Amino acid sequence: MFYAVEVSKPSLGWQLTCKAAELCHALGYHRAMPGSPGQAVALDAGRRQLLFWNVYIMDSTLALRLGRPSVMREWDITLDRNIGPDVIPQPWDSITGFWIRHAEIQNRMYKLLYSPIALSRTPEEQEICARSLAQELVDLTMDVGAVHDAAMAMPSSSEAATPAKGKITGMNDMHPYVDKISIYTTLTLAYRAIPAPHESPSRFCPECVDAARYSIVLHQQAMELLKPDAYFQAIYIHW
């Protein structure tokens, strides 16, 4: 499913993700394990946890992108959202936690803003839901900086990219830009559900336009920084 997205085939990625989600549910990966297992069992449980949440992230992201409901329901998941460093090295455990939080917001966004039931609500009700989700995303932007500061301190990021250097040296250096763009594009979708002010020349509210413009600015910065490396540039564009 990751490969399908990387080669710009989101519909195929969605089909594979749905099958992966079905298998995760059949195997019970979405449920927390009771008791206190031994070290070997705990490591296996951690791998299952990481696998499940990666499928969940893909499901939520692709579902919103394609305008479809997520196949994974939050109320059926009892698995811990916190992935420890014994499962995935630091700071990727924290970054994965950020991705999970973002995916949970995306999961609810279709249901609350873009589903047939959501679209049948009054403009006032839609605005309440949209502003609530938008605030969650704004809060998320406050946390992502600290998470990626740790990622940029990793050894592979010792020559981390900055606007002055104008070069991306690896995945660790690329993620801060990609994640921030992802948040602001999702924020744009949240504000898009808010009706424009009365007699406004635009069909979008000012917050939606501001979020969209900032997303474009971040995108242009990322493209400039990724220019020396065609491989990472292709990955960024497809994702």
> What are the tens digits of pLDDT across the range 186-199?
999 999 999 888 88
Share of the chain above pLDDT 70, in %: 83
Helices (H), 67-166: 92-109, 116-119, 123-152
pTM of the predicted protein model: 0.82
* Structural domain ending residue among the three candidates 35, 59, 88: 88
Report whether pLDDT(165) > 50.
no
| Residue 131 CB coordination number (10 Å) | 16
SS3 content of the chain, % helix, strand, coil (to 5): 70, 0, 30
Q: Are residues 60 and 149 in the same domain?
A: no
Q: Are residues 40 and 97 in the same domain?
A: no
Q: Are residues 78 and 190 in the same domain?
A: no
Q: Are residues 18 and 77 in the same domain?
A: yes
Q: Which residues contact 162 (CB under 8 A, 6 or more apart)?
A: none
Banded model confidence at residue 158, pLDDT cuts 50, 70, 90: very low
* Structural domain ending residue among the three candidates 23, 58, 88: 88
Domain limits at 67? 1-88
Q: How many domains does the chain have?
A: 2
- Give φ, ψ of 167 to 5 degrees: -150, 140
- Measured CA distances, 206 to 6, 127, 132, 210 (Å): 33, 13, 17, 6
Q: Identify which has the larger pLDDT, 149 or 43.
A: 149
